[in-house]
Structure 1
Amino acid sequence: MSTPSYCFKLATAPSEVSGYFALRHSIFVDEQQLFQGCDVDAMDAIAYPIIALAAETAERQRRRSVGQLVLPLTHHPVLSTHHAYPTQNTPVLGVVRIYEPEPGLWYGGRLGVHEAHRRAARIGKGLIYKAVTTANTWGCDRFLATVQLQNVRFFQRQHWHSLEELTIHGLPHHLMEADLNYYPPSTEQRPALSSFTREAS
């Protein structure tokens, strides 16, 4: 049996951004219940969404986009707090966001993998790698994340270390930092964040 392959990329097309927010909502609101109604926050206004796709899905989308207008990266959508996202048909298998609240300091967050694909640890690992290498390309001096306790060892295996223990939303977390030596800069171009919003249907 062949081993599935994955693509990790910035979510730029409207369908990719919709799938990104849909999976986030499914994981952090519906499943984990870390947030009530909506997990979008102020950081989404400056965050770059990153997604994992099956390689064949990414290739199909690439072929469809040839010769078509590529839209700029969008801000987070305007959301109602009770909006429920459909996820059963989304091709997005995993999500993470990165943002720079001050020059050189980057954070990762909202890391999650679709429940049907969590046995493939490569998705989480690939999302982390894409997140940190992308930030490192764009002038990262430090890359931090708050990590749920059950995921700390996984991050340590990806060359992260814990800075302190925290309690967030009543659950134990660690503030962790990536060793940038293991995440070399890539060639990813930094797109401008768009000023328009997308109304949730």
Structure 2
Amino acid sequence: MLEIKALQRKFNQNVPASEAHEKRLESKGEQLEILAAIALFKKLRNRFIVARTSLYDDYKNKVDMLIIERATNTPLCTIDEVSAIGGPKFEQKKAFTLEQNGRRHGATVKYGLSVSEDGTQIDKTEMLHIPSFYLPLPPDRLAAGMKEVELSLEKESEFENNFFEYFKTTIAAQTAGALFAYPNMDNTMKKRLIALQDAIANMDNTMEATTGKTAL
């Protein structure tokens, strides 16, 4: 807890907690996390758990979102949403993510979770060797998404449908890039990246079978 508070103070640049919370809600990064969580939860909720990570994992491990397969409690991937689509910081994020998947054995989430088969028990568990990705969205598309997103779980906007297609395409491209750039990567990571490719390829079929209708 003390470490989290220290990280918060550093991140907030010693701004009082109440002001920092309001400031964070106004930031593009926070809005993108909220938007992504809503859109992905709607699309994936039948087969996957879509959860925003703890403050510790957000600050310390640079992980904003965690996606877990419900049936096996296996982490599918982590997502770090970024509002920049160019420039030095964006290129640094690209290079870091590629190396993390190919050479550093993926992301770590200290405060992950597992759910019992009947869904009545949730346990905290550390998760290792998770495929890690960044999801960039330019400010104009973020602004459009915040206006168009449907807060109802029973409704999906055109933006949400397009965002989901963008998510699948982006993650698939980064997965293929890591497998190509690091053919001799850790075997656990290679298996998880290949499994992720299969999961993305079958997401629409899985959701159609589960919900009885097409997801898009």
Name the structure where helix makes up a greater proportion of residues. 2
Range of TM-score over shorter length: 0.3 to 0.5
Larger-gyration structure (1/2):
2
TM-score between both structures, scaled by the size of structure 2: 0.31
- Which has the larger strand fraction? 1
Q: TM-score, normalised by structure 1?
A: 0.33
